Structure 1
């Protein structure tokens, strides 16, 4: 029996999370779901977007499954996602983007995994004004040798464990000689310890161009926090959008799995939201807790339903009569 903290989230979160739980339960894996709250729904219910009870649950289970959250303005939290990543030192953000046979895009052969450093860089939030008039602002990027080494090490070990052939480090060391230079230096040092994995390095702006021109040249990509945020959205666009992209936030002793898209309150409660991303995140979670066979069954079922294009949401097939619930049910049925 696995105990997992379940945060359904805001907007479309509860509806897509219900379908994801339905699919995961259909695998037969025994999971005790411990429901907790975060985001706008938590703020409305408890007066805080990140209640102590949620942290207590995550402290105990060390695995959380989360829907999209709405950041509450003016509460002291820049982002609940960032707060959770920093609180539990979830240093590796992993976002795979793979082409789907049933979804027509510009490319048919994309299979890229973005491994993003998740705890530092420009997103540490060290910002201030340099003048009383608040007309000059400064943001500080923090890059450490230890965090750089562990994220690059994670990327290479991920490549080795998943039969990947190449790791590309994306950087801006040609301009940011110290912070990005340190990251690149460390990446080169780690790469030397993995002679079985091809190593490539690209300046971030050139990497974006190459990714759009020929995505097949990329396999596993490792980069700093903000660059990883941008690149993971770019790769999502190559395969059909954020509605198809799962995300994992991995730490040494805790992990959080989520859809990377927003809470889309405009379509909440309309049975329109695509549950694919969070169901695929659920498959990543199953693999993380050692249920690899169940994870593979979920992935195959999702691929079957998406590629057939019948019981899918309108964003995947404008002519469909199916919605969120019907798609989730079809995926669960495809595992039988």
Structure 2
């Protein structure tokens, strides 16, 4: 048995966590769980986003399944996600978006994996109030971090027999920062002559993604563009409720749904747990439990294809728990 840390999050987090754990247990995933409350509610009650014992658990297990956490907009504490990524150097954020024939969209042939550098760019959160009407934000790009994420993208392509890696940037304007990222990309691309490579400016990519998404395979990009582009790719496949992710470092790994905590529907038990469930499948694959992950993926596909027990975001009326039970029945 492998012990993992679980952050239940807030908003819809506890609801979808419970649903996902029920599926993992039904699938006989060889996991033990250490559960913790984290996020805005924990902050209001105890003055800390993450309890010390939760940090200690992650530092012991090295694997975290994390539900969404509310982050105040324009004020308050810094994003818990950013804190975790920087504290544990979770430098690679990998977000696969793949069409499912059971989810009707205008884009049936999407199969895009976004590799987002996770520790730099504007997400370092360095801002300076110059005067009452002027704020400066610092964008940081380094060769070291760029090399790591870009090389990981090419290795992933080679290992999984993918055919192309595209670098997304804004080097036509940000000639030094994005220019460095692009320069490193071209250097590393030369090390992988068996993998096609190209580069595109981020605004052009956004247009092409909604016109010809099938022309993209693997995207590698700095932090901010990766966040935006991966949300766009989720729209191509049916929404954020279907987009999983993993955050990988040299010693730690965090698996989470890309969507937020959706406080507007918290407590209504209508949230779609698929993204977190597929993130848990990525966790299972990470620890070598590929068969169980495959079983769960096929069960989800069965439920989606049946079209009967779907949550409202997918056009149905099922509760979160009813959807989870349907997946369990399909295992």
Q: What TM-score range do you get, normalising by the shorter chain?
A: over 0.9
Find 1:201's aligned residue among 199, 202, 220.
199
Instruction: Check conservation: 1:49, 1:72, Cα contact below 8 A.
Output: no
> 2:235, 2:319 → 1: CA distance?
22
Assess, with a 3 A threshold, how the Cα gap between structure 1 residues 288 and 215 changes in structure 2: closer, same or farther.
same
Structure 2, unaligned stretches of length 5 or more?
none
Tell me the residue number matched to 1:316: 314
1:329 and 2:325 matched: yes
Partner of 2:143: 145
Q: Is the CA contact 1:36–1:57 (under 8 Å) kept in the aligned structure 2? A: no
Instruction: Report deviation, 1:73.
Output: 7.4
Instruction: Give the Cα separation in 2 of the matches to 1:15 and 1:77.
Output: 24
* TM-score, scaled relative to structure 2: 0.97
Indicate conservation of the 8 Å contact 1:159/1:166, yes or no.
yes
1:241 equivalent in structure 2: 239
Corresponding residue number in structure 1 for 2:165: 167
Q: Determine whether 1:130 maps to 2:126.
A: no
How do 1:36-75 and structure 2 match up within 5 A? 36-71=36-71
* Other structure's SS at 1:130 match: strand
The Cα shift of 1:85 comes to: 0.5
Deviation at 1:72, TM superposition (A): 5.3
When normalised by structure 1's length, the TM-score is 0.95
Q: By how many angstroms is 1:28 displaced? A: 1.4
CA shift in 2, pair 1:227/1:75, >3 Å: closer
CA distance, structure 2, for counterparts of residue 129 and residue 74 of structure 1: 14
Aligned to 1:254: 252
User: Over residues 160-182 of structure 1, what are the superposed CA-to-partner deviations in whole Å (9 max), with x where a residue is unaligned?
Assistant: 22221111010111111110010
| 2:158 counterpart of 1:157 | no
Does the alignment pair 1:105 with 2:101?
A: no
Deviations 1:8-38 (A, max 9, x none): 1101111111111111122212211001221
CA distance 1:323–1:76, change in 2 (3 Å): closer
Q: What runs of 5+ residues in structure 1 fail to find an aligned partner?
A: none
Rounded to whole Å, the distance in 2 between the matches of 1:11 and 1:212 is 31
Task: Measure, in 1, the Cα distance between the counterparts of 2:74 and 2:213.
Answer: 40
* Alpha-carbon shift at residue 77 of structure 1 (Å): 3.1
Distance in 2 between residues matched to 1:300 and 1:157, nearest whole Å? 27
Identify which range, 42-51 or 149-158, moves more after superposition. 42-51
Number of equivalenced pairs: 331
Give RMSD over aligned pairs: 1.4
